[in-house]
Amino acid sequence: MNQQGTRVAMVTGASTGIGFELARCCARDGFDLIIAADDAAIAEAADQLRQMGVSVKAVQADLSTAAGVEQLYGAAGGQPVDALLANAGHGLGGAFLDQAFDKARHVVDTNITGTIDLIQRVGRDMRARGTGRILVTGSIAGFMPGSFQAVYNGTKAFIDSFCFALRNELKDSGVTVTCLMPGPTETEFFERAEMLDTRIGQQTKDDPADVARVGYAAMLKGEGDVVSGWKNKVQSAIASVTPSAMLAQQHRKMAEPGSDRS
Ligand SMILES: NC(=O)c1ccc[n+]([C@@H]2O[C@H](COP(=O)([O-])OP(=O)(O)OC[C@H]3O[C@@H](n4cnc5c(N)ncnc54)[C@H](OP(=O)(O)O)[C@@H]3O)[C@@H](O)[C@H]2O)c1
């Protein structure tokens, strides 16, 4: 809670998609917001969120870098963050050997390194106060080897696993960790990942507002994990008993460039 007695939520990747909708969930509940993204669209998102009657601080920072994470953490100015929604992330389609390595590294640095750096900083403060909610956007992609999106799926396997471990470490601390695992969702994700020429890029997807509502509710309840949408729940249950080689082959059919035409 800040000096005005209002709860504060920090939401990363809040300029578009699931993160913007998570920020809307927080604003609807009266949280003041500190929101972040890498490009200037974060200022427009902040303007829209302010219209919901809450105070919004927008931070433009590349969260794949230590400097970007430091900038965001510093923007809180020492005020307690009651809820951290670590959602920023992006994908990268195509065959791994054909990807530019700096782009692949940016996926790892954003989805893993920057994410856990921020969680460690904010999480330490929460533990010291004995209260806090952390929601991390993982993915059902973490359950399957992602042929033609190999690095991305690997990062989400890391995040899904990390969340359960951190949650366990923090049990009885007053701080809860929740992992939101969406399936394919209608956002800018697939365009940014250069995956519009894939079957998964073209298929009908979930509404980001629905996905965010499910994740936000799970965070408030302090649940460990939530897979949004019944189809994704079925898919992840099946994935848990399917050999990895078979999952990789299934993923190829969805994510190989040109699979939208086959
Ligand atoms: N869409 C799906 O099918 C799906 C499924 C499962 C999980 N997810 C996960 O959901 C999360 C949100 O993705 P989305 O689907 O909502 O996609 P999106 O619309 O592309 O939103 C991604 C958000 O993350 C921000 N971001 C990405 N890299 C960043 C960086 N290095 N520094 C700061 N901000 C960064 C983007 O801001 P900038 O534009 O400024 O970079 C944007 O605000 C991601 O973690 C993604 O992996 C998505």
Give pTM, 2 decimals. Answer: 0.97
Specify the pLDDT at position 59. 98
Q: Which residue among 20, 31, 148, 152 is the active-site one?
A: 152
pLDDT confidence of residue 5? 79
Ligand 1, atom 45, residue with closest C-alpha: 89
Residue 208 alpha carbon, nearest atom of ligand 1: 16
- Give residue 62 CA to ligand 1 midpoint distance, Å: 12
Tell how far CA 55 is from the center of its chain. 22
Residue 234 corresponds to which tokens in the numbers above?
């079925």
For ligand 1, the distance from its centroid to the CA atom of residue 3, given in whole angstroms, is 31
pLDDT digit string (tens) for 2-14? 777 789 999 999 9
Give the burial class of 260: count Cβ atoms within 10 A of its Cβ; 0-12 exposed, 13-18 middle, 19 or more buried.
middle
Does residue 184 line the site of ligand 1, with CB under 6 A? Answer: yes
- For ligand 1, the distance from its centroid to the CA atom of residue 163, given in whole angstroms, is 18
3-state secondary structure 177-241: EEEEECCCECCCHHHHCCCCCCHHHHCCCECHHHHHHHHHHHHHHCCCEEECCHHHHHHHHHHCC
pLDDT tens-digit map of 124-177: 999 999 999 999 999 999 999 999 999 999 999 999 999 999 999 999 999 999
